[in-house]
C-alpha cells in the first residue's frame, strides 16, 4: 500500500509545472498547520467558555452586590465586608486548620506506608497495599455519610470506646466543635492516604537499592535512612502531592456538608460551603459569594506559584 503511494507520487511529479508543485506544497504545509488547530479547537473553546469566561465573570461579580439578579456595582464594599464577617473568618480559619493538620499528617503516613511496603522481604505486601488503597474507590459523599454514622452518638466508634473503657459515657463527636473537626480530618486522611501512597511507591521503585545497602553498611539506622535518603529522593513527588492535596483541601466541600453540614454552629464550615450557602441556601448574594470565592483563587494561585518555583529549582 505504502509502496504504491510513493510510486504514484514519483510518476505524477514530472508532469506538474514547478509553480503548481510549489503551490501544492505551500497549501499542504498551510493545511497541515491548520488541521492541527482543528484537533484542539473544540477543547479550547469549551475550556474558554466553561472555565476562563466564568473566572472573569466571577471577578466582575466580586465588585457587585444585591439579591438574586438585581446586582449593582459597589466597588470594594464586598472586599471590606470580608474582614468583618465572622462566618467568613470561621470558614477561613477552619479551612486553614484542616490544611495545616490534615495534609502533613496524611503525607507522613503515606510516606511511612510506602517505605514499609517497599521492603522486598515483607510478606502479604499486596494485601496491605490493596487494603490501604481501598478507601479511594468510595465516592466522597458515600464515605462521608458512613463516617457520620460511625462517629454518631449511637455509632460504632462510641460503642467500641465504651466497651473497652476508654470513655465512661457516649461522646457526641459531631456536636462538639473540637471533635467534629477531628472527625473530618480523620475522614479525609482515611480517604486519601492510600492515594498518595501509590505515588510514593511508584517513585520508590526508581530509587537505586544499592544506596540503601551502602547506608546500611555505613551503619545508618532505619530512621536515618528514611530522613536522609528516602525523603530527599522523593522530594519532587512529595511536593507534587502536597500541592495537589493542599489545593484539594482548600476547596473541601463534600465531606463537610455530609458529615457535619458545617456545624455545630459554624465550627466546621469550609470556604466552599460558605460560598454555596451564600449563593443557594441563604437569600442569594452572588456578588459577595464571588468575592469569597476569589479568596480561594488567590490562595490557590499563591500556592501554585510556590509549586512552580520549587519545581523550577529542581531543573
Partner 1 sequence: MNRLKRIFIYTFLSVAAIVSIFPFLWMLTSITNKSVDVTQGRLLPGTHLIENFKTLFATVDIVPALINSSIIAIITTFLTLLLASLAGYGFEIHRSKGKDIVFTILLLSMMIPFAAIMIPLYRMFGSISETAPLIGIDSLGAVILPTATTAFFIFFFRQNTKMFPKDLVEAGRIDGLSEIGVFFRIYMPTMKTTYAAAAIIAFMNSWNNYLWPLVILQSPEKRTIPLLISNLGSSYSPDYGVIMSAIVIATLPTALVFFLMQKHFVAGMMGSVKG
Using rule CB under 8 A, residue 231 touches partner 1? no
C-alpha torsion 99→102→104→107, nearest 10: -120
- d(CA 305, CA 294) in angstroms, rounded, equals 16
Bridge-partner residues for 72, per DSSP?
A: 65
3-state secondary structure of 218: coil
* Distance separating alpha carbons of residues 83 and 89, to the nearest angstrom: 7
Q: Which of residues 242-281 bind partner 1 (CB under 8 A)?
A: 247, 250-251, 253-254, 257-258, 261, 271-272, 275-276, 279-280
Distance CA 117, CA 130 (A): 11
DSSP 265: T
Question: Is the Cβ of residue 6 or residue 210 nearer to partner 1 in the bound state?
Answer: 6
132/180 with CB nearer partner 1:
132
Residues in 159-178 at the binding interface with partner 1, rule: CB under 8 A: 159-160
CB 275 within 8 A of CB 292: yes
| 81-120 residues near partner 1, rule: CB under 8 A | 109, 112-113, 116-117, 119
The answer to the question of residue 297 lying near partner 1 (CB under 8 A) is yes
Among 15, 38, 84, 169, binds partner 1 (CB under 8 A): 38
C-alpha cell read off for 231: 525523603
Under rule CB under 8 A, residue 192 binds partner 1:
no
- Count of residues engaged in binding partner 1, rule: CB under 8 A: 91
Is the CB of 22 or the CB of 159 nearer to partner 1? Answer: 159
* Nearest to partner 1 of 148, 181 (CB atom): 148
Amino acid at each position: 500500500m505504502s509502496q504504491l503511494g510513493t510510486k504514484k507520487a514519483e510518476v505524477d511529479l514530472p508532469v506538474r509545472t514547478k509553480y503548481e508543485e510549489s503551490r501544492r506544497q505551500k497549501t499542504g504545509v498551510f493545511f497541515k498547520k491548520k488541521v492541527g488547530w482543528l484537533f484542539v479547537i473544540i477543547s479550547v473553546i469549551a475550556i474558554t467558555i466553561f472555565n476562563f469566561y466564568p473566572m472573569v465573570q466571577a471577578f466582575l461579580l466580586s465588585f457587585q452586590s444585591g439579591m438574586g439578579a438585581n446586582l449593582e456595582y459597589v466597588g470594594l464594599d464586598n472586599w471590606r465586608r470580608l474582614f468583618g464577617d465572622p462566618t467568613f473568618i470561621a470558614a477561613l480559619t477552619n479551612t486553614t486548620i484542616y490544611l495545616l493538620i490534615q495534609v502533613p499528617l496524611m503525607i507522613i503516613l503515606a510516606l511511612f506506608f510506602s517505605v514499609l511496603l517497599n521492603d522486598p522481604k515483607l510478606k502479604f505486601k499486596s494485601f496491605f497495599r490493596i487494603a490501604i488503597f481501598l478507601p479511594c474507590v468510595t465516592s466522597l459523599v458515600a464515605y462521608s455519610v458512613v463516617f457520620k454514622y460511625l462517629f454518631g452518638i449511637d455509632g460504632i466508634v462510641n460503642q467500641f470506646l465504651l466497651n473497652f473503657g476508654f470513655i465512661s459515657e457516649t461522646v457526641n463527636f459531631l456536636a462538639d466543635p473540637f471533635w467534629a473537626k477531628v472527625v473530618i480530618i480523620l475522614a479525609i486522611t482515611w480517604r486519601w492516604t492510600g492515594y498518595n501512597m501509590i505515588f510514593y511507591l511508584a517513585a520508590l521503585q526508581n530509587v537505586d537499592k544499592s544506596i540503601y545497602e551502602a547506608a546500611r553498611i555505613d551503619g545508618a539506622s532505619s530512621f536515618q535512612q528514611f530522613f536522609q535518603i528516602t525523603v530527599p529522593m522523593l522530594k519532587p513527588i512529595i511536593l507534587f502531592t502536597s500541592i495537589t492535596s493542599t489545593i484539594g483541601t482548600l476547596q473541601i466541600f463534600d465531606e463537610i456538608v455530609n458529615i457535619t453540614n458545617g456545624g455545630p454552629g459554624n465550627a466546621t464550615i469550609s470556604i466552599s460551603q460558605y460560598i454555596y450557602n451564600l449563593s443557594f441556601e441563604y437569600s442569594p448574594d452572588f456578588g459577595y459569594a464571588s468575592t469569597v470565592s476569589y479568596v480561594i483563587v488567590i490562595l490557590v494561585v499563591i500556592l501554585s506559584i510556590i509549586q512552580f518555583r520549587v519545581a523550577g529549582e529542581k531543573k
